[in-house]
Amino acid sequence: MSKIKFILIFASVLLFACQSKESNSVEKLTTIKELHAKIATAKAGDEIVLANGVWKDVEIVFKANGTKENPIVLRAETPGKVFIEGISNLKIGGNHLVVKDLHFRNGYTPTDVVILFKTDDDTPANHSKVTNCVIEEFTQLDRDATDHWVEFWGQHNELSHCYIAGKSNFGPTVRVQLKGNQHINNHHQIINNHFGPRPRKGGPHGETLQIGDSGTSMTPSYTNISNNYFERCNGEVEIISSKSNFNIFKNNVFFESEGSLVLRHGNYATIEGNVFIGNDNSEFIGGIRVVNTGHWIMNNYFYKLKGSEFRAPLAVMNGIPKSPLNRYNQVTDVVVAYNSFVECPTPWFFSVGSNVDKSAVLPKSEIRSARPIRTVFANNLIYNNQTATNPILNYDKVDGILFEKNITNNENKSEVKPKGLTTVDFSVNKLSDNLFVPTKNNTEVYNGFDFENINTDLFGESRAKNNAVGAITIPVKENMVLVNESNYGTDWFNPKKEKREPKTFTIHPKDLKSTIASAENGDIIVLESGEYTLDTTIDIDKKITITSADEHKKVLLNFTANNTAFLMKPKGDLRLQNISVKGNKTQNAFATLDKNMSKAYNLFLNNVEISNFKTALSVSKGSFADTISVKNTSVKNLENGFLLNQEIDAKGDYNAEFVFIENSNFDEVKGTVLDYFRGGYDESTIGGNLIFKNNTITHSGKESADKILIKNQGIVQAEISENTFINNPVKLIAILWGEKGQKPENNKIKNSGEFKIVQNLKQKLMY
């Protein structure tokens, strides 16, 4: 029996016991009016019970005062059977309050917070907690609408054993506020939570957790973030943004999360015993990024992290001399000791963010030229099974780091070869998933100032007798694992969706709309061969594959309505294969909702023909595609091709994360073949990826306003290679961004303008 199943059964038994008790003694409330009436008279020790069912459009204000011994508890009748839905939220104010067992879903908050630890500015919560709750995709309709799902105020509050996932709009999922003396020295506990997937946002402000902000970065916070599981938290480059002092990050697991634990502002953080797990394929999964002063980073375990620069396993940044409050202070007085880096080919990056060469396009107050100083790297272990001879990458001199007693099992051929990083021939044993430890202790360690306080290892074993380099000393207790799922989240909610076999419907195309409406996520629709006219728009709000019954012959769909052929809605995921779509020149082939694109969509075209439309793809501001993939496709007779260019505020947002256009033909596209835009000087995001490869473009661009065929302004990764451009009356094929390594490769060009490379892009400052 799996552990999870066991827990579920065990929980059910417990629930049954509770229910029996409740039905006798505790009043179950069924309306918000009853609830508020009950709260108004609640006394220390009271239980306030929400009856099972859906509570829709409720704004719960839980203002009361319990005592340490007798808190006031607001809870679900049955854990997981009370759903807060619609336009709803919860405010908690007072002392010694507990909220538990609620499930927020199918809605969003009417204010800017879902669960707020204050009822008004004069009434923060103190010594109160939210525990064993779920917040699931309780996201704003508009990506640009800002909110937080949990916002801490007051002191000594707790968020524990919750499952929180699926925020796709602007704003950190959890935010600790420090504005005002009532809220500092807060000692909040954010513990044992499961932060489930947060999708890529396609712009900044997609942190999972932010503690303070630059304006309160001088405050003592003492927030404790321990024993949490961050699973694929991909919102932006910062999974956690620590922006206050004395925060503690201990024993958390960061699993395949595209970002880093970032010490963005504030000082003296403790990062101890955390586990960072990447994978072989991603360069977006980071580890820890260090800014500011006095942090202690120890006993952490980094595994299979392949990221670089901001997303390096360990990135130590350059600061701005005398930095403005909201930019980058110099790194000073940081200690990095007793960490293990396993299968991280280049674990240490120094002077990340150095941009002295960009002084032509950036003001002096943005130039990160202050190297890290008074910083100690000691007793760290680097292991790579394959040859990996560049443990250090540096963007500036490395003259402020003291290296002592670090070891690697590979030769160090980096530019920087400190004496304190030596090559030692050692091997490792695999003890459990992703957990590799040396076969013997490397006992020669450095004892720096205050190192005697590092007296245990990653697993809490004393270092007194068996001290050794790296996060883990041996022997390791039996059955140790890096990720113990039972530590995280609620005792009643299983975030793992059951796998479902997709169904296949073979239909006449006239039934396409209705079939999709009734199909389930992942289903496949096979269209009978032929040519058909559809005087409608096909809505896509789930994963749907549409293909032709005859794999050798495309189905031709003639769209005659004025509206778009396919309308992509939130979570729409359309895979079109072997289909030809033809328009009447007035509509778009694919488009998103004009607004409320609350969640990302995907579009995969393979062996498709698109013709006689206004635009191949037209998107709205706020819409976001995770992937647009166009392969083996023919695009012709259009005003424009793919337009992903609506985020014009220059605030770092963009309309798609990955755009692949390969092995395809564009002919007679009058305007721009592709306009893929990201504006604003921002380093928070992956920043867009374009692969435009092996395509043929002919007779296009003649009406392009600025005489450019392919526009990719501000997109960080762009490959334009192996294409053939013939007879396109433009001035430029594309402008590429030299600093990011962009250059045209192996393109054939005839009567089609040229490529231009701009080394340093001038971008609007957002700060």
Tokens 């337009």, residue located: 643
Q: Which of these ranges, 69-77, 214-222, 436-444, 709-717, lies near a second copy under the rule CB under 8 A?
A: 214-222
Task: Say if CB 626 and CB 656 are below 8 A apart.
Answer: yes
- Cα–Cα distance measured from residue 740 to residue 386, given in angstroms and rounded to the nearest whole number: 28
Among positions 180, 460, 738, 741, the unique one binding a second copy when judged by CB under 8 A: 180
Structure tokens at 135: 């917040």
- 268 touching a second copy, by CB under 8 A: yes
Chain-centroid distance of CA 625 in Å reads 14
How far is 216 from 243, CA to CA, in rounded Å?
7
Closest distance between a second copy and the C-beta of residue 285, in Å? 30
Place of tokens 């443990």: 391
Residue nearer to a second copy on the CB measure, 322 or 508: 322
- Binder among 131, 132, 260, 267 for a second copy (CB under 8 A): 267
Binding positions for a second copy, 240-259, rule CB under 8 A: 245
Q: Which of 3, 5, 21, 322 binds a second copy (CB under 8 A)?
A: 322
Token pair 């990095």: residue: 336
Question: Site residues for a second copy, window 585-614 (CB under 8 A)?
Answer: none
Query: Nearest 5°: phi and psi at 220?
Result: -80, 125
Which residues does 434 contact at the CB level (< 8 Å), separation at least 6?
A: 277, 303, 304, 482, 483
Closest distance of CB 267 from a second copy, Å:
5
Give min distance, CB of 248 to a second copy, in A.
Answer: 16
Of the candidate residues 2, 20, 24, 181, the single one contacting a second copy (CB under 8 A) = 181
Nearest distance, CB of residue 326 and a second copy, angstroms? 5
Radius of gyration of the chain (CA): 28
User: 326 or 387, CB closer to a second copy?
Assistant: 326
Per-residue x/- marks for a second copy, 275-294, CB under 8 A? -----------------xxx
Is residue 218 part of the contact set for a second copy (CB under 8 A)?
Answer: yes
449 binds a second copy (CB under 8 A): yes
The residues, ordered by sequence, that sit 6+ positions from 308 with a Cβ below 8 Å of its Cβ are 283, 346, 349, 393
- 438 interacts with a second copy by CB under 8 A: no
375 contacts 401 by C-beta, under 8 angstroms: yes
**Is 318 a binder of a second copy (CB under 8 A)?**
no
Q: Shortest gap between Cβ of 377 and a second copy (angstroms)?
A: 14
Q: Based on CB atoms, which residue is closest to a second copy, 256 or 272?
A: 272
Closer of 68 and 477 to a second copy (Cβ): 68
For position 521 contacting a second copy by CB under 8 A, the verdict is: no
Report 324-343 residues binding a second copy (CB under 8 A).
324-327, 329-330, 332-333, 335
End-to-end CA distance of the chain: give it in Å, rounded.
Answer: 53
Minimum separation from the CB atom of position 219 to a second copy (A): 7
d(CA 601, CA 178): 36
Nearest-approach distance from CB 295 to a second copy, in angstroms: 11
Does 386 interact with a second copy (rule: CB under 8 A)?
no
Element (H, E) at 528: none
Task: Compute the distance between CA of residue 522 and CA of residue 503 in angstroms, rounded to an integer.
Answer: 8
Q: Which of 451, 383, 377, 384 is nearest to 421 (CA)?
A: 377
Say if CB 684 and CB 236 are below 8 A apart: yes
Residues found near a second copy in the complex (CB under 8 A): 179-182, 184, 214-215, 218-220, 245, 267-268, 292-294, 322-327, 329-330, 332-333, 335, 365, 374, 449-450, 767
